[in-house]
Amino acid sequence: MKTKILFLLCVMVVLGSVTVQAQTPTEGEKSVKTKPDFLPEAGNFGIGADASPLFNYIGNMFNNTVGNTLNLTNPVIYGKYFLTDMNAIRVVVGLNNSTTKEMKYARDDAAWFADPLSNKEVVDSKRTNINDYLASVAMQYFVGKSKLRGFYGYQILGGKASSKSMYKYGNPMSSLNPTPSAAYPYTPSGSRLLETINYSNLYVGLGGIAGFEYYIVPRLCVGGEASINFLYTRSKQIYTKSEEMNGTNVANVEKAISPGGNQFSVETVSFSPGHIQNLGFYVMFHF
């Protein structure tokens, strides 16, 4: 009886040790399971944003720049899809849409005609709209499998940039007051500006890209990119609209300032519309 019990205890000890060994990973398995999965893989998506304003803000802090502000008014969005572990399609969209309104005082002509000693004033205004858009589609090829790795590739890009200013006046133009007081100057022909097209450009391009990415934590990286591009720019006609007296009537007149044109150029293009620079920084999260 004692022999049977001793035998059963030995069997239980052996089975227990085998089970523990089966559940305990080897050193190789430990290294595989506990190694941080820093890099994205085939099928992963990435989304990010331009980090240049943040880096500029931090740099100005160390330089003791007066009036340092964090400018986030021109958003630049990054998107990415990994075709393989080392190859991805990247899309970037940049926007710069803004409206600026300027107001100035001018003499109130009606009050002045009634009383030359009057100090009454009216308000003239100038509103300027800027509408800039930039989009790029690129193919990226990555080099290296560490936290810090490089990439190269090519891109196609296109964009639109335009700006228009519109004027409003407190003193109306009429046959009784053909040259009313205004805060903004008259044109050489004696007309008063109502609208000006400051610029209107369309462009497309093709170029090469190169840069780096550093993964701070798994799937989260900061990166920098430089590019050189062949660009074709088409400038549309620039013109003004103004008002002037035609006999006893007020007439609106359009006048062409520039017929526009075409341009071929080789440039480095950042993803902040309206600005040219060598390197654009970004932060991107992958999932």
- The rounded radius of gyration (Å) of the Cα atoms in the chain is 33
| Residue whose pair of structure tokens reads 């090829």 in the numeric block | 141
For residue 166, being part of any structural domain is answered with: yes
Predicted TM-score of the model (pTM): 0.69
Tokens found for residue 201: 């450009």
What's the distance, Cα to Cα, between the start and end of the chain in Å? 63
For residue 8, being part of any structural domain is answered with: no
Name 263's bridge partners: 233
Per-residue pLDDT, 189: 84
For residue 13, being part of any structural domain is answered with: no
For residue 7, being part of any structural domain is answered with: no
Closest to 211 measured CA to CA, from 51, 44, 41, 38:
51
Count CA atoms closer than 13 A to 214's CA, side-chain side: 4
For residue 273, being part of any structural domain is answered with: yes
pLDDT string in tens for the chain (287-residue length) = 444 443 334 434 333 443 444 444 454 444 444 445 789 999 999 999 887 655 555 555 556 655 555 455 567 889 999 999 999 999 998 888 889 999 999 999 999 999 999 999 999 999 999 998 889 999 999 999 899 999 999 999 999 999 999 999 999 999 999 999 999 999 888 899 999 999 999 989 999 999 999 999 999 999 988 889 999 999 999 999 999 999 889 999 999 989 999 999 988 766 544 443 445 788 999 99
Name 122's bridge partners: 106
For residue 2, being part of any structural domain is answered with: no
For residue 32, being part of any structural domain is answered with: no
> In terms of residue numbers, what domain contains 260?
37-286
Helix (H, G, I), strand (E, B) or coil at 25: coil
What is the total count of domains within the chain?
A: 1
Distance (Å, whole) CA 17 – CA 40: 39
For residue 11, being part of any structural domain is answered with: no
Distance (Å, whole) CA 248 – CA 37: 79
